[in-house]
Amino acid sequence: MPTSKDVAQAAGVAQSTVSYVLSGKRPISEKTRKKVEAAIEQLTYQPNAGARALASRKTRVIGLVIPFIPELEMGSIMEFVSVIASTARQFDHDILLVTDDEGAAGLRRVVGQQICDGLILMQVEDEDERLPVARSLHVPVVLIGIPRDPSGLVCIDADFEMAGEHCVRDLAAAGHSVISVIDWQPAVMDRHVNYVDRFLHGTDVAAKALGVTVLHLPGGTDRATISESVDKALASTTGNPAFIVPDRTIQDILRRDLSGRGLTLGLDVSVIGSASPTLAELQPIPLSTIDLRPAEVSRRAVKIMCQLLESDSQGPHESLELVPTVITHRSSTLRPQ
Amino acid sequence: MPTSKDVAQAAGVAQSTVSYVLSGKRPISEKTRKKVEAAIEQLTYQPNAGARALASRKTRVIGLVIPFIPELEMGSIMEFVSVIASTARQFDHDILLVTDDEGAAGLRRVVGQQICDGLILMQVEDEDERLPVARSLHVPVVLIGIPRDPSGLVCIDADFEMAGEHCVRDLAAAGHSVISVIDWQPAVMDRHVNYVDRFLHGTDVAAKALGVTVLHLPGGTDRATISESVDKALASTTGNPAFIVPDRTIQDILRRDLSGRGLTLGLDVSVIGSASPTLAELQPIPLSTIDLRPAEVSRRAVKIMCQLLESDSQGPHESLELVPTVITHRSSTLRPQ
DNA sequence: TTGAAAGCGTTACCAC
DNA sequence: GTGGTAACGCTTTCAA
């Protein structure tokens, strides 16, 4: 492997000049720049990351802490991971995976060994054991998700409250006066990710503002629970029922239950579910969908991280950003009762 | 951040001794080891990865090249990623993400800059533009998937041929003499991932051996295609039809189509589909499932990589490993016609 | 069994 | 605008 020394020799300049050509940290005459660039090209020189990290104290690597296999919704996790990795490249950074089964110790390790310059934490819960560590680490940390106490932390997430509001507003506008919200499945409720509360709160806010009734019904991945919830929903409505189903893993079961009752989505029943647009496309379910825009959240998380790294301010930062969600309508879905 | 020099000083030994205590590359007296370990503990020393990489020419990082967002089956990709990352940690390595949108240049970059010691490529296609690069790189490369020409490459994958055979054998044993295999959706067929061919070939082999008929019918993510395929299947069978549906994204559509025709899975129809056991659990579809064991494939891929790194033999290696698949039966699914 | 010192390939400061 | 050189923090060879 050629080194910058080789390049310097080939170009007939000092090693430091090669470094400055690459970094642009000091003016270089057109002539020598050309010479150096030619030598780099010709030797196919690439700077050694380890040496660079050692000398500059910057690895240009961001640690991404991925959730510990909750089996649920791996697909949407991958959506985050994938976009985060691509975006990081756009900012000339790489992503190192930190699996959550290492726990808080993993965070200390990658930062302590100076493998990466900063951390992005996914799936942050209300009370997260990683947070005290995150605060004490002397590197920038960006959270995807909002803990109960976000003080001293940089957080970003989809605006779940707004999403909840929008869903209710849409169904109300379609003429529904009673709207059933199916909760996330127990496994998710138990994890105390507070986006659940934020979403549900959004539905209540809108309901109060519009004078409609919102029913909160239990969610689950078994037919029995859903069936029971649908019973309740039907019992409480005189007209056509309307459902809001934020948990993707429930949507399919609900659909089966409804069609088992001879109810046609979009005709007899209005449903809004969360989904990425591509997923909705792939499985043409007649739902209006709340797009929580994981890609946008991911992009911004990386952007924020890179800004923090740029301005390498040591002290702790604090900020909270909510990414607006989007409702995509599907024709003939929201039918007035 | 404390350095090994600090540790040496605190322990009253030479810096090299600290290094040897950590690496175990030479015998250390119990006494000095204790002293050094105490100092490490007390200073919470962690070796600097960059410096270590520079001096040892080993980063202890493995690059993982993830597929470029084909929107399909992100969930199963994440299953690989997650297990790969955990397993790598068990071998004291970390995973760096390399997104496939960087293409072959990305491989050259991470290897050229010596950010990682080896590469694992996921979703290897029949003719893969990354392969020539992979062969020319002077680091170990492990492929998940088997290209048309695996010469000079280390490959690992699920044994799709065996999976195909098993599916047919199972249905034949249940009394079916005509078995319909629904192809993967066109998007997958077009990508020329040869596991499709291997699987289909397996079904043919078993069919021939057992004297049963295998029908290959087009797959797709739209109802029309599936409906047509089901028509053909029904037309060709006098008894109860049997289906093999390796593509997960098709299973749900098929199920809807069948129940639309008043056919009950497990009673009127036998179906075998591929799925991870957990997924099957989550969505209780009455299918027997082929478990392609992505976790096992991932674990072995990492293990092979770490062995290659251990024995850091420069020359190109070549090997091909097929991981046996497993069929999980669900009661009352495979009903004799 | 241990220590001293020479690199490893950059960056960045200090001269010129 | 450019060159020389001292770090950066570790590994490893050579001596003792």
- Ordered by start, the domain boundaries in chain A are 4-47, 61-158+295-324, 160-292
DSSP string, B232-282: HHHHT-SS--EEEE--HHHHHHHHHHHHHTTPPBTTTBEEEEE--HHHHHH
CB-based contact (8 Å) between B56 and chain A? no
Q: How far is A6 from chain B (nearest CA, A)?
A: 15
Residues A195-206: tens digit of each pLDDT:
999 999 999 999
Option in B75, B96, B98 nearest A74 (CB): B75
pLDDT under 50: residue ranges of chain A: 279-284, 332-333, 335-337
Nearest CA in chain B to A106: B89
The reply to whether A64 touches chain B by the CB within 8 Å rule is yes
**Residue lying closest to nucleotide D7, CA to C1':** A55
Nearest to B99 among A82, A101, A114 (CB): A82
End-to-end CA distance of chain B: 72
Query: Is the Cβ–Cβ distance between B289 and B273 less than 8 Å?
Result: yes
For tokens 């970094």, the residue is A23
* A51 at interface of B, judged by CB pairs closer than 8 A: yes
The angle subtended at Cα B164 by Cα B159 and Cα B168, nearest 5°, is 145
pLDDT at residue A337 in the model: 42
- A79: chain B residues, CB-CB within 8 Å: 74
Question: CA(B56)–C1'(C2) in Å?
Answer: 21
Tell me the C-alpha distance between B223 and B206, whole Å.
Answer: 29
Nearest DNA or RNA nucleotide to A53 (CA to C1'): C10
Phi, psi for A207 (deg, rounded to 5): -60, -45
A contacts of B283 (beta carbons < 8 Å): 221, 252-253
Is B160-292 a domain of CATH 3.40.50.2300?
yes
Residue A244 forms beta bridges with which residues? A181, A272
Collapsing DSSP to helix, strand or coil, B141 comes out as strand
CA of B114 to C1' of C16 (A): 35
pLDDT for res A289: 84
The secondary structure element, H or E, covering residue B65 is: strand B61-66
∠ CA B121-B124-B125, rounded to 5°? 160
Question: Using H for helix, E for strand and C for coil, what is the string for chain A?
Answer: CCCHHHHHHHHCCCHHHHHHHHHCCCCCCHHHHHHHHHHHHHHCCCCCHHHHHHHHCCCCEEEEEECCCCCCCHHHHHHHHHHHHHHHHHCCCEEEEEEHHHHHHHHHHHHHCCCCCEEEECCCCCCCCHHHHHHHCCCCEEEECCCCCCCCCEEEEECHHHHHHHHHHHHHHCCCCEEEEECCCHHHHHCCCCHHHHHHHHHHHHHHHHCCEEEEECCCCCHHHHHHHHHHHHHCCCCCCEEEECCHHHHHHHHHHHHHCCCCECCCEEEEEECCHHHHHHCCCCCEEEECCHHHHHHHHHHHHHHHHHCCCCCCCCEEEEECCEEECCCCCCCCC
| A112·B46 Cβ contact <8 A | yes
CA(A316)–C1'(D10) in Å? Answer: 30
Query: Measured in angstroms, what separates residue A136's CA from nucleotide C2's C1'?
Result: 38
Record: contact B94-A89, CB cut-off 8 A: no
Instruction: Search chain B and give the residue with CA nearest A62.
Output: B96
A68 near A101, Cβ under 8 Å? yes
* Cβ contact A250:A287 at 8 Å: no
pLDDT at residue number B234: 93
Candidates B53, B101, B110; nearest CB to A86: B101
Asked if B283 reaches chain A (Cβ–Cβ under 8 Å), the answer is: yes
Burial class for A256, CB neighbours closer than 10 Å (0-12, 13-18, 19+) = middle
Give the pLDDT confidence score for residue A283 in this predicted structure: 46
Q: Which residues of B touch A44 (CB under 8 A)?
A: 112
B326: helix, coil or strand?
strand
Residue in B closest to A59 by C-alpha: B50
A4-47 and A61-158+295-324 have identical folds: no
Neighbour count for residue A244 (Cβ, 10 Å): 28
pLDDT of residue B240: 84
Q: Which residue has the least CA–C1' distance to nucleotide C7?
A: B55
The pLDDT tens digits of the residues spanning A251-260 come to 878 888 888 8
Q: CA-nearest residue of chain A to B253?
A: A283
Which nucleotide's C1' sits nearest to the alpha carbon of A20? C11
Largest CA distance in chain A: 87
pLDDT at position B165: 95
List the single residue in B49, B51, B97 with the smallest CB-CB distance to A85.
Answer: B97
Q: Are A134 and A121 in contact (CB under 8 A)?
A: yes
Cβ neighbours, 10 Å, residue A258: 20
Distance A46 CA to C9 C1' (A): 11
- CA A50, CA B106: separation in Å to the nearest integer? 18
Say yes or no: Cβ of A49 under 7 A from any atom of strand C: no
Contact B71 A102 (CB under 8 A): no
Which chain B residues touch A49 with a CB distance below 8 Å?
A: 50, 53, 59, 113-115
CATH: 3.40.50.2300, 3.30.1330.120, 3.80.10.10, 3.40.640.10. Which one for A61-158+295-324? 3.40.50.2300
Contact A51 B48 (CB under 8 A): no
- Predicted pLDDT of residue B263: 84
Per-residue confidence (pLDDT) for residue A285, from 0 to 100: 52
A153 φ, ψ to 5°? Answer: -130, 155
* pLDDT on residue A222: 87
Mean pLDDT in consecutive groups of 10 residues from the start of chain B, 337 residues: 97 97 95 97 98 98 89 80 97 97 96 98 93 95 96 96 93 90 89 90 97 95 92 91 89 83 80 64 61 95 96 83 88 48
Using a CB-CB distance cutoff of 8 angstroms, which residues of chain A are in contact with residue B99? 82, 85-86, 89
Is residue A96 within 8 A of residue A62, CB to CB? The reply is: yes
Beta carbons of A26 and B45 less than 8 angstroms apart: no
For A60, other C-beta atoms within 10 Å of its C-beta total: 19
Domain B4-47 classified CATH 1.20.1440.230? no
Task: Give the DSSP letter of residue B325.
Answer: P
* Class of residue A67 by CB neighbours under 10 A (exposed 0-12, middle 13-18, buried 19+): buried
Angstrom distances, CA of residue A137 to CA of A84, A111, A141: 21, 7, 8
* In chain B, residues 10 through 39 whose Cβ sits under 7 angstroms from any atom of nucleic acid strand C: 12-17, 20, 26-29, 31-33
Q: How far apart are CA B71 and CA A75, in angstroms?
A: 9
**Nearest CA-CA distance, residue A144 and chain B, Å:** 18
Q: How many A×B Cβ pairs under 8 Å?
A: 143
| pTM flag (> 0.75) | yes
Chain B residue with minimal CA distance to A97? B95
